[in-house]
Amino acid sequence: MRCINQGHQLSSPTIIRLILCVFLVLPWTAFSAEQKDNTPAPPSNAKDTSNTPPELPLNEMRMFTDVFSHIRSSYVKDIDDKTLLENAIKGMLSGLDPHSTYLDQSSFNDLQVNTTGEFGGLGIEVGMENGFVKVVAPIDDTPAKEAGIEAGDLIIKLDEKPVKGMTLNEAVKLMRGPKGSDIVLTIIREGESQPLEITVVRNTIKVRSVRWLTLEPGYGYLRVAQFQVNTGPDLEKAIDGLTKEHPSLKGLVLDLRNNPGGVLQASVDVASVFLDGGLVVYTEGKIANSQLKYSAKPGDKTDGAKLVVLLNDGSASASEIVAGALQDHGRAIIMGTDSFGKGSVQTILPLAKDRAIKLTTALYYTPNGRSIQAQGISPDIIVEPATITALKRPSGRITEADLSGHLDNTNGNADQSAEKKDGTSKQISKSILNKDNQLYMALTVLKSLHVATANSNKEAAP
């Protein structure tokens, strides 16, 4: 079948007919190719069409070419055919889900830069919701975080430009800009009666993937802000630093709050730090190469230290993979609030030398077969963020040690209260309580688990 003669100059009506002709030819071409197989063709009355590609909707294809023709001939401004067709591709992808999109050369470069940990902008992970830009999470130590942008904020205006009607890529381009320049974000926030205007000064974003500190002797804190290529090795170095300070780790807090995700393999590497082998995550999709399984390497880096993982609604994608795997294997207690629920896999499919599409091709599943998509990971212990103030003890409080002639303690610890013996730890705990009640609860649970295990070991001893 021939639609046009080669070597002829194409007019606009010819281009439109060519588009339709190509779509009409495709089903016949695919069917003819299948008939080259040695398997006998089914009888004419057979209804099994499992190997036959679905027919394209011809009426809708004619409608597409009609719209294309009307725009070219009647739209108030002249638009070249290349732009119209690229817009059609963008429209097809935007109607699928919030994560499928068209990538021009600039967008593709931005995607590569974001996974290496250094890029220019505000420092927020964003998505689309009801036509507005939704903040998945502000990234630690960035202008957005310092300005007070929060997970769940809906951005409705960028400076004076309404976001409604923009694509996500268009909105991201407006948020990027020279270092030192500012932008006013108009946001809607749950609990606020009026939109908020927040000025953010752009800067070069250098994401520090892993941070750590000692909460109390034997209890460590590990913060993973984003999953990058080197997050797994960086986390192992952080644990080495903790064990150097306190060789016997009693417990660890892994903080994944407001972590928007990142590189899939990095999530497997992080889970491997705490697991002694076993399945971490698997994916299922329509195409053959979307059926994948990822397993942890043997060897628990922490030697089985008690583990609490903190989540919230800003924890997405790779964060949910790690939390789901540790929860299914019974390796950690998950605390906080429900995670974001981004459980889909995006694949970059090249279209040309400098263009590609990011297409959702599969869904993530935890080792026990739970889908993360639009549901997220539910914590074992729900702890809402709150401001807590410890009550002061009454002045003039008297204890047994204050009474005249009291008997000394036979353990040799006379006149030493728990507060005097461990004043530094108490100061740290009080500071955490005032600043971060979720982290304080995580530390409390770790200490409780350590005490319970120690008591259990005493009872088991002969």
User: Among residues 267, 272, 315, 317, which one is catalytic?
Assistant: 317
CA-nearest of 312, 153, 313, 315 to 225 is 315
Looking at residue 160, what DSSP letter applies? T
Q: Tell the residue number behind the tokens 């939390």, with chain if given.
A: 323
Give catalytic status of residue 317 as yes or no.
Answer: yes
Do 231 and 115 contact (CB within 8 A), yes or no? Answer: no
Bridge-partner residues for 210, per DSSP?
A: 224
User: Among residues 145, 250, 306, 342, which one is catalytic?
Assistant: 342
DSSP 161-193: EE-TT--HHHHHHHH---TT-EEEEEEE-TT-S
Report which secondary-structure segment, H or E, holds 318: helix 318-328
Neighbours of 221 (CB within 10 A): 21
Give catalytic status of residue 456 as yes or no.
Answer: no
Tokens of 322: 């790690």
As a whole number of angstroms, the distance between CA 267 and CA 131 comes to 30
Q: What is the maximum span of the chain, computed from C-alpha positions, in angstroms?
A: 114
User: Among residues 250, 328, 429, 436, which one is catalytic?
Assistant: 328
Q: How many CA atoms lie within 13 A of 1 on its CB side?
A: 12
Q: How do 333-336 and 381-382 pair as beta strands? A: parallel
Q: Tell the residue number behind the tokens 């590990």, with chain if given.
A: 222
The sign one gets for the Cα dihedral 78, 80, 85, 86 is negative
Give catalytic status of residue 328 as yes or no.
Answer: yes
Q: How many CA atoms lie within 13 A of 58 on its CB side?
A: 7
CA-nearest of 175, 174, 134, 137 to 156 is 134
Do 286 and 345 contact (CB within 8 A), yes or no? Answer: no
As a whole number of angstroms, the distance between CA 268 and CA 280 comes to 6
Q: How far is CA 115 from the centre of its chain?
A: 12
Tokens of 371: 């889908």
Do 174 and 161 contact (CB within 8 A), yes or no? Answer: yes
Q: How do 292-295 and 344-352 pair as beta strands? A: unpaired
Do 300 and 330 contact (CB within 8 A), yes or no? Answer: no
| Beta strand residue intervals within 329-461, DSSP E | 333-336, 344-352, 355-365, 381-382
Residues with a known catalytic role: 317, 328, 342
